Structure 1
Amino acid sequence: MSTNITPPPVPALPPQPSKKSHTHAYIIGGAAIIAAAIVATGIAISGSGNDAAKPGPTVTVTETVEIEAAGEGEAAATTDQTTDARVGEVARNGGAVVKVTKVTETDTIVLAGARESAGADAKYVVLKTVVSNEGKASMDLTCSLPIVNALIDEQDRRFDTIEDLYEVAGNPECNAQLQPGFDDEMQFVYRIPADAVVTTWEFSEYNLENEVTSTVDLT
């Protein structure tokens, strides 16, 4: 006896995506990849821009310096002095007014009534001057220091006068005070190397507050 068996129904397969759906998926995926690449590129560009700072604009600042005008004391110190005189011209420093009338070089001088030799490789330089006292007090030209002075040669060496200028023939005696408003002849004598070439005489009135000197060109 035969039995007819009915086979169970075949389950239905899920619907297959169409070609159109695959195309959409590819487009969406590609767009996502492109967007991610753009974002990554932007970050990289932004980072590299921070590594090198962009040059800023150049700013020029002009500073104006105001020169302070000299005070009355400074102006007076400048205008009261006469410098760079020559032989035969008047040079002034404070109350001391000096005119160098003659410059001589010699091997011997008369000192305290006796002839004194300069010695080997040496010579005397004698500056004959007329000194006028235009200050407020008397001046002792030979035994005191009313006029600070120096003889300067072409090597910028500075020479002092010999001692006891009052013993030089023709000079004022020791403590012979030159009163204000008077003048007197005075010889400044220096002993220097025989080969020295003198160029300048420098002097100033003795005053601790006066640092300005006057010069006489001897060339």
Structure 2
Amino acid sequence: MSTNITPPPMPAQPPQPGKKSHTNAYIIGGAAIIAAVVIATGIAVSGRSDDTAKPQPTVTVTETVEPEATVEEDTAAATDQNADAKVGEKARNGGAVVKVTKVAEADTIALAGVRKAAGADAKYVVLQTVVSNEGKASMDLTCSLPIANALIDDQGRRFDTIEDLYDVAGNPECNAQLQPGFDDEMKFVYRVPKDAVVTTWEFSEYDLENEVTPTLVNLT
């Protein structure tokens, strides 16, 4: 008697993935990578845009312009500079006090009793003054130059006195010492161009040791 043996059934094979499934996976993965790149690029661009768009601080520069001086201000400044004294007022410099009492112009003057002409293109300017010695020592007004002085015209030109002021009629003699506490009349005489317009007289007490700022007398 024969026995038929039936072999057990073979286990079923798991289904193999198809090509379509692989393709879908690749598409999904590629899309994810592209999305990540786009997002990263957008962030970077956004960052640069923010930096570019960041407002910069505004700096305001204010320039101050000084107003120009007017003619009136310039004239006032010049007047103030020459306002130490006027004709008829006492002016002081050190121990010398001088009052200009009169300013005169002449074609001739008397020198040592003789009339001397200024010349065709010149004139004499005579300052009549009273000099007071309020210092500590005597003054020789006509010989030893106790008072340094200059006559100034409207062009800024400076003129010295003529020589031998002791020969001018009415002036103190040479070596006539004006003692402290006394005063004397004194004429300062200048020879200047005919068309000169004098404006200022400058004087200072003579001092060899120190620099002295002169005093100005307005003659206009």
TM-score, scaled relative to structure 2: 0.72
Q: Does 1:41 align with 2:14?
A: no
Aligned twin of 1:21: 25
Match of 1:149 in 2: 149
Counting aligned pairs with the same residue, the percent is 64
Are 1:168 and 2:168 counterparts? yes
Q: CA RMSD in A?
A: 3.1
What is the aligned partner in structure 1 of residue 218 from structure 2?
217
Amino acid at match of 2:113: G
Q: Secondary structure of 1:136's partner? A: coil
| Residues in 1 aligned to 2:175 and 2:186: alpha-carbon distance in whole angstroms | 14
| Residues in 2 aligned to 1:171 and 1:125: alpha-carbon distance in whole angstroms | 15
8 Å Cα contact 1:110-1:116 kept in structure 2 = yes
Q: Which amino acid aligns with 1:107?
A: D
Distance between the aligned counterparts of 1:31 and 1:37, measured in 2? Answer: 10
Deviation at 1:198, TM superposition (A): 1.3
Contact 1:83–1:214 at 8 Å: present in 2 too? Answer: no
Q: Secondary structure at the match of 2:124?
A: strand
CA distance 1:123–1:55, shift in 2 (3 Å): same
**Partner of 1:124 in structure 2?**
124
Provide the C-alpha distance between the structure 1 equivalents of 2:37 and 2:83, rounded to a whole number of angstroms: 93
Q: How far does residue 14 in structure 1 lie from its aligned partner after superposition? A: 5.0
Q: Which amino acid aligns with 1:150?
A: A
| Aligned residue pairs, count | 185
SS at 1:119 equivalent: coil
Q: What is the rounded CA distance, in whole Å, between the counterparts of 2:171 and 2:156 in structure 1? A: 28
The Cα offsets for residues 118-141 of structure 1, whole Å up to 9 and x where unpaired, read as 111111111111100001111111
**Residue 96 of structure 1, CA deviation:** 0.5
Give the 5 Å matches for 1:71-82. Answer: none
> If the length of structure 1 is used for normalisation, what is the TM-score?
0.72
Question: How far did 1:173 drift?
Answer: 1.0
Contiguous gaps of at least 5 residues in structure 1: 1-11, 61-81
Distance 1:150 1:54, change over 3 A: farther
